[in-house]
Chain A
């Protein structure tokens, strides 16, 4: 089934130089593998195409069932220079959770470990 990431994960974002970072965490360990498979750096870059001018890097933190994304050049000049309302990328986590991905129905229902 195609679902928004918000259905299986939670997130937090903030500024990192002239870009932002987004921590994406599975709501349950059984969802971590599907995050690793589906939420690639390329897909995140495409999702934020109009916001992120630089590259997207991805790191895995399996012990926290989490992924960390760095969105380079995504704040319109960074911290104090930016003219944007969200100059610190505070909303980027919420934005990522709107991304839609395919999740097996049985996994959503908790039938698969």
Chain B
């Protein structure tokens, strides 16, 4: 078997919708990964599904499939995605409908189920799994009632199973981003379940791909060196059976692939570089060798891995009160002083109304000074204009809503030269907090289901 080409056309929920089409039509491709789930997305999908049992997946994906399905079928490009969210069944039903509407028969759509643990949480706790919060050490039991989603991160194996059943499209819920790149390599090259070095190589290929254009010039430090960023090419990995691979992009696209752009992405969201834990393997980033083998082509080799761990990561979420924030633009002279006065006025008027927020639950930033990097970014003596960003959070919806009513009055009852309040009163938003935990992998793997249906 020669090399396979794996692309990533969607790095996160809300990414550019034309990018995967450009990637698909810009050159050769065998597999296309599409990521739609941020950490808290499933909690939002849970609310959608409660309102409508046929919802709870990434609807953007349906529009994408409607546009590209003829190309996928003609060129046999297979799509791997977590767009199934909390409802891969409904997502598949909709895709099969779209295929029939387009008059395309024989489209095989696979789903992977078993990551959703919300209904199983009480049983798991009763069976002795503490599911303690990895950040705080708290056990989950006293908080069971407030959990709004709970999903295990699945690895590549169930995705491989769907590919082996000849699925053109594989719909997952919660699955690691790296699995979407590793699974095609396992499927194409027949890598063994304990071939740790190669599994680590496929995993690191997935890590490089997972944020889309962040390895092809997007978010790169020396941005002025990057050509045609507006048309940045989303990444393609050419994977070889021996585990080495080349990071590249489609011909004619913007951006660039260099050792520097790939290195930055390798370190993105990195913890301990020796121990990058996924459901499939523990990868060692200190083994990676990079070589510029041609323009926009970086060869990655030498990767080592170790045996996978006995547990899987669970990503649960719960509602944790409300927050709201708003902005006002203030022009100088003395713009900073006037912005700070505006903030003081808000807190004092709220206090007069009996609404008080703890210091940790309120935020005042004067954007245009050193708000994002306090004490680090140089500040002009008297900036010509600044933006006041002011926000609160609290368990009490009414308090947060009351805060939202104090910004607009500043335009007439605060200092002069305050403007830019067009967005209306800031509305309280639910805070979805994140509960990371570990769970014995056998508890998840015993409940995995993979199935394929055809249009």
Q: Decide: B267 and A25 in contact? CB cutoff 8 A.
A: yes
Q: Decide: B374 and A81 in contact? CB cutoff 8 A.
A: no
For the complex, give the distance between the alpha carbons of A102 and B375 in Å.
20
> How many B residues face the partner with a CB closer than 8 A?
52
Shortest C-beta distance, A81 to chain B (Å), equals 6
A50 touching B323 in the complex, CB below 8 Å, given contacts A63-B287, A83-B392, A83-B393 = no
Q: Decide: A79 and B267 in contact? CB cutoff 8 A.
A: no
For the complex, give the distance between the alpha carbons of A63 and B267 in Å.
12
A80 touching B432 in the complex, CB below 8 Å, given contacts A25-B260, A98-B377 = yes
Shortest C-beta distance, A39 to chain B (Å), equals 14
Main secondary structure of the interface of A (DSSP, over half): mixed
Find chain A residues with CB under 8 A from B265 CB.
12
Find chain A residues with CB under 8 A from B268 CB.
12, 14, 21, 23
Count: A-B pairs, CB below 8 Å: 122
Q: Decide: B285 and A81 in contact? CB cutoff 8 A.
A: no
A16 touching B271 in the complex, CB below 8 Å, given contacts A66-B263, A85-B389 = yes
Q: Decide: B270 and A68 in contact? CB cutoff 8 A.
A: yes
Shortest C-beta distance, A25 to chain B (Å), equals 5
Q: Decide: A98 and B376 in contact? CB cutoff 8 A.
A: yes
* Residue A104 at the chain B interface, CB threshold 8 Å: no
Query: 0/1 per residue, B374-402, Cβ < 8 Å to A?
Result: 11110000000000010111000000000
* Residue A70 at the chain B interface, CB threshold 8 Å: yes
Q: Decide: A21 and B269 in contact? CB cutoff 8 A.
A: yes
For the complex, give the distance between the alpha carbons of A97 and B222 in Å.
12
Q: Decide: B377 and A64 in contact? CB cutoff 8 A.
A: no
Find chain A residues with CB under 8 A from B436 CB.
17
B 258-302 contacts with A by CB, 8 A: 260, 263-274, 285-290, 302
A49 touching B375 in the complex, CB below 8 Å, given contacts A10-B222, A63-B286, A64-B288 = yes
* Residue B62 at the chain A interface, CB threshold 8 Å: no
Q: Decide: B263 and A64 in contact? CB cutoff 8 A.
A: yes
Shortest C-beta distance, B170 to chain A (Å), equals 27
Find chain B residues with CB under 8 A from A6 CB.
221
Find chain A residues with CB under 8 A from B289 CB.
63
> How many A residues face the partner with a CB closer than 8 A?
44
Find chain B residues with CB under 8 A from A14 CB.
268-269
Shortest C-beta distance, A63 to chain B (Å), equals 6
Q: Decide: A21 and B267 in contact? CB cutoff 8 A.
A: yes
Q: Decide: A10 and B272 in contact? CB cutoff 8 A.
A: no
B375's nearest neighbour on chain A, judged by CB, is: A50
Shortest C-beta distance, A92 to chain B (Å), equals 8
For the complex, give the distance between the alpha carbons of A95 and B374 in Å.
9
* Residue A51 at the chain B interface, CB threshold 8 Å: yes
Interface hub of B39, B264, B371, B392 (most chain A Cβ within 10 A): B264
* Residue B242 at the chain A interface, CB threshold 8 Å: no
Q: Say which residue of A16, A27, A80, A83 sits within 8 Å of B363 (CB atoms).
A: A83
* Residue B365 at the chain A interface, CB threshold 8 Å: yes
Find chain B residues with CB under 8 A from A27 CB.
260
Shortest C-beta distance, A54 to chain B (Å), equals 11
* Residue B362 at the chain A interface, CB threshold 8 Å: yes
Query: 0/1 per residue, A45-70, Cβ < 8 Å to B?
Result: 00111110000000111111010101
Q: Decide: B377 and A79 in contact? CB cutoff 8 A.
A: no
Which 9 pairs across A and B sit closest by C-beta, in order of nearness?
A: A23-B267, A10-B221, A83-B363, A83-B391, A95-B373, A50-B374, A12-B264, A50-B375, A86-B372
Given contacts A10-B222, A78-B434, A84-B363, 7 further A-B contacts (CB under 8 A): A21-B271, A59-B272, A63-B287, A81-B323, A83-B325, A85-B365, A85-B372
Binding site for B on A (CB under 8 A): 6, 10-12, 14-18, 21, 23, 25, 27, 47-51, 59-64, 66, 68, 70, 76-81, 83-86, 91-95, 97-98
